[in-house]
Amino acid sequence: MPEERSGPLSHLTVLDLSRIMAAPWATQIFADLGADVIKIERPGAGDDTRSWGPPFLKDKAGSTTRESGYYLSVNRGKRSVTVDISAPEGQDIIRQLARTADIVIENFKAETLQRYGLDAASLRAENPRLIYCSVTGFGQDGPRKDQAAYDFAIQAMGGLMSVTGERDDKPGGGPQKVGVPIVDLMTGMYAAVAILAAVARRNETGLGDVIDLAMLDVQAAFLANQAMNHLVGGRVPQRGGNRHPNIQPQDVFPCADGFLVLAVGNDGQFAKLCDVIGHPEWASDERFSINAGRVKHNPELTELLTARFRTFSRDNLIARLDAAGVPAAPINTVPDVLADPQIRHREMVRDLPHPLAGTVRHVVSPLRFENAPLRFSRSAPLLGEHTHEVLLQLGFSESAIADFKSRGKI
């Protein structure tokens, strides 16, 4: 039987027919929030990301397992059930699970699940309260609907790489992708928001809904100020390295012994910056006194700041800026972040139980609730770890489960 659940969504059951990153990121959010997430995987192979290594987790004896770091990062807290959805027996199992589920989320190509009778219309005919979310690269309609998509490609065609990276005329210039699969992650976040909106609506109407979410749409949506800059100003946004297109000074600056990020957000902070670095007159300079001027005269301002910052040690300057209320920060490595005293205090990294490794360190959800605290009680599941458990819950006999297994259906 599944363990007792807690968290604000502990009353919900999610049937997860997805793999890779975008939709699984959404279902991990639901698992963190307490929902029972049943992850359906291919017998013998499982989620594609299981093989996306190295690195792979080592077990208690130090031997390498099949559990990749990538897979572990996005499947925390779920139950894994292996099912061959191309077989009638597998389709029947999925339909039975969907009858009592609150949410189904899948990321197959458009119209694929219709062939198996597992599309939204088929499953919602038996469970009108079901919320069915389809995540694809381009949506359920339109000229690209049959194309496959990966995060990297969507970052490129969705405009993100046109505004990410150093200018072409600078050393290292050229387009860059973001260092994490940001389109996948944002798509997962949008999926979670959309599903929760449908849950809230169902509480009023008693009926579920169908959600059509496309990665390219998501990328277009979170072009945010860059898209609006173009729509309002008519200019084509360009790569500017670390320089902010609308607010200055916001950039990476070299100090005597390293780099810092400066993120001045208003004229008052700029005046405080000038005081800290010993040039209060810059705050009244007509070129720099207001943000619009600092954006217009950014090359001159950057040259002045760069020369001045080189006379300070990084940590000393950051401490002085922090004391003055001017946002600045070091550029930390991943280990630096995980060792940060604030991250440790907030318990963002925790050891979760794992059947092979004993425990695995995870970066957990940042969500905190006073009345429904989250409980992180297990790592990502082994392939098919919960198949027997879930099929028994559905009412299948031991002999039927053994038969399915012997024929490779689960």
In whole angstroms, give the CA distance from residue 254 to residue 307: 9
Q: Are 193 and 255 in contact (CB under 8 A)?
A: no
Distances in Å between the alpha carbon of 266 and those of 112, 270, 287, 330?
Answer: 51, 6, 15, 20
The 3-state secondary structure of the chain, one letter per residue: CCCCCCCCCCCCEEEEECCCCHHHHHHHHHHHCCCEEEEEECCCCCCHHHHCCCCEEECCCCCEEEEEHHHHCCCCCCEEEECCCCCHHHHHHHHHHHHHCCEEEECCCCCHHHHHCCCHHHHHHHCCCCEEEEEECCCCCCCCCCCCCCHHHHHHHCCHHHCCCECCCCCCECCCCCCCCHHHHHHHHHHHHHHHHHHHHHHHHCCCEEEEEEHHHHHHHCCHHHHHHHHHHCCCCCCCCCCCCCCCCEEEEEECCEEEEEECCCHHHHHHHHHHCCCHHHHHCCCCCCHHHHHHCHHHHHHHHHHHHCCCCHHHHHHHHHHHCCCEEECCCHHHHHHCHHHHHCCCEEEEEECCCEEEEEECCCCCCCCCCCCCCCCCCCCCCCHHHHHHHHCCCHHHHHHHHHCCCC
Parallel/antiparallel/unpaired status of strands 103-106 and 13-17: parallel
| Residue 51 CB neighbours (<10 A) | 13
Instruction: Report the interhelical angle of 267-276 vs 314-324 (nearest 10°).
Output: 130
Catalytic residue (one of 119, 184, 217, 251): 184
184 in active site: yes
What positions carry a catalytic annotation? 184
